[in-house]
Structure 1
Amino acid sequence: MRNRKPENQPARGLVVLGGARGPRRAGEVWLVGAGPGDPELLTIKALKALQRADVVVHDGLVSGEILDLAPSAARRISVAKRKSRHSYAQGEINRMLVAFAQEGLNVVRLKGGDPFIFGRGGEELEACREAGVECHVVPGVTAALAAGANAGAPLTHRGAAQAVTFVTGHAASGAEPDLDWESLAKVNQTVVIYMGVSTAAGIAARLIGAGRAGSTPALVVENASRADERRIVTTLAGLPAAAESVHGPALLIVGEAMSLALASTPAIEGLAATSNLELRVK
């Protein structure tokens, strides 16, 4: 018995819950969008889901103010992801959600922004369906909407942006994304790049190479909607230099409508194509 595994030490990636055996009520999983960070941008439906939670499995970027809206007795599990550093692999998260629900618990998977906008919510939904676990989706305000709104720069605007496209700045392998650069380079549209800070130079080069003017207005928003939000107004050609100063989660937004963010600050009129101006939100 010397090699016996200590009790209450489950293998990594597995969830072991105690309690009496017997008929259990069916648990459910709620994929909830926590919004971009400002607690006041949380939806009423998201709040109600949180208040009923037995377990909250949350992203690292979800604020403590939002987590505190869950019952004090609810178990909180951080599955924070950072570039090249994941506390849990996606497969482990999927199994965790299913296991808790099969124990009869009400599980809230709390995600920054919206679950279905680069949030892997689709993968978690599929895992629940395959396991026969009921899964609900509560949409959230994605960061691009908050970034544009706070900057006074609409993502669509008559005469300047007849379309808006959300893209990812890196592929699953970490390489440059395989995108239709010619289509993204067309004028009078807004391109929002999520997770593109580290690949900003390549993205800018691709867009310019496909025909988008280097003088196209651009905006970098770090920590959108939060108390420490920071904006850098620039151009497509100046995007790589602007991204170098960013350390937190940020969006890159390119398009003619971003000129409204530039024009809202008289001091930046007439900037050269590679100039940047930083604005801090207080």
Structure 2
Amino acid sequence: MTGKTTGKVYLVGSGPGGEGLLSQRGRAIIDTAEVVLFDQLPGEDILASLPGSAEKIDCGKFGGKHNLEQDEIEALMVDRAKNGKIVVRLKGGDPFLFGRGGEELETVRAAGIPVEMVPGISSALAVPASVGIPLTHRKYASQVTILTGNEDPTKPGPALDWELLARSQGTIVILMGVANLGKIAAVLMKHGKDPQTPVAIIERGLRKDRRVTAGTLTTITGAAKKAGVKPPAVIVIGDVVNLYDPALPDLIPFG
């Protein structure tokens, strides 16, 4: 009698929303899944296309309210794979860019389970592009810094060097930063960032209800509050935001 065969885990990035920017490799892997652990960011059409026979586990995290904690997610991945299943950990954007894919990779490898990474197009790149904001431009920006907005910039000993960020002449892209928007704008200006630096907040990625709120470091917090801005959203800070024109059509169609 042979022993039980170990399955495999795939860390799959679904991109910024919609099947149009899901990679062919990602689509092929999803179609073979026996277990799918998904977060709240893949587009509705991608979630609707999951195999009917697959076990579907909602791992969404909404503003501090988690359906499952990270250690529970990783335990489920290991458990199902050890039971011979093809497990897909499906994430919005790219799993290795603030998606905790690196932690999940470590856990799965430590358990001796085969694992494969399927990159996804990050919302940090695609969402600004979709509304005509290039992150680099010969006239405006020769570097890009992508950071998480989850960290409170006013706490003692922040991991991010806000003084260095304030001096940067490039583009700053912030993911998961809506809750700390006011603090982020304030700390950048405190460290010398021009208060008139343009800022754009793009809500809901490539979904049909996508919305852009624009302003400057001085005005963006009030504008966001007035508009009722909510996550998920990508925040872009820098002169490239001046290229955004609400009168022009989107560059990447929904989906």
Q: What TM-score, normalized by structure 1, do the two folds share?
A: 0.82
State which of 120, 123, 130 in structure 2 corresponds to 1:150.
130
Question: Structure 2 CA distance, aligned partners of 1:266 and 1:63?
Answer: 26
2:243 alignment partner, one of 260, 265, 275: 260
2:206 is aligned with 1:194: no
> What percentage of residue pairs aligned between the two structures are identical?
41
Query: Do 1:60 and 1:80's aligned partners in 2 also have CA atoms closer than 8 Å?
Result: yes
Amino acid at match of 2:170: Q
Matched, 1:230 2:233: no
Deviation of 1:22 after TM superposition, in Å, equals 5.4
SS class of match (1:61): coil
Partner of 2:80: 100
1:32 equivalent to 2:12? Answer yes
Q: Tell me, yes or no, if the aligned pair for 2:43 and 2:207 is still in contact at 8 Å.
A: no
* Structure 2, unpaired ranges of 5+: none
Structure 2: how far apart are the matches of 1:87 and 1:70? 19
Bigger RCO of structures 1 and 2 (CA < 8 A, at least 6 apart): 2
Shift of the 128–78 alpha-carbon distance from structure 1 to 2, 3 Å rule, reads same
**Displacement of 1:234:** 1.1
- Specify the code of the residue in structure 1 equivalent to 2:54: A
| 1:184 counterpart residue number | 165
Match among 54, 59, 65 for residue 39 of structure 2 = 59
Classify the secondary structure of the residue corresponding to 2:106: helix
Pairing of 1:36-185 with structure 2 (within 5 A) = 36-171=16-151, 177-185=158-166
| Partner amino acid, structure 2, of 1:253 | V
SS at 1:185 equivalent: helix
Q: How many residues align?
A: 246
CA contact (8 A) 1:220 1:242 kept: no
Computing the radius of gyration from Cα coordinates, the structure with the larger value is 1
Deviations 1:218-268 (A, max 9, x none): 10000011111000111121221233221231111101111111xx3479x
Deviations 1:107-166 (A, max 9, x none): 000001110111110110000011011111111111121221111110111121111111
Moved more, 57-66 or 47-56: 57-66
d(CA) in 2 for partners of 1:175, 1:69: 42
How far off its partner does 1:187 sit?
Answer: 4.6
When structure 1 is superposed on structure 2, of 195-204 and 245-254 the one drifting more is 245-254
Q: Does the residue aligned with 2:167 lie in a helix, a strand or coil? A: coil
Return the TM-score normalized by structure 2: 0.90
**Residue number in structure 1 paired with 2:231:** 248
Aligned CA distance change for structure 1 residues 92 and 163 (closer, same or farther; 3 Å)? same
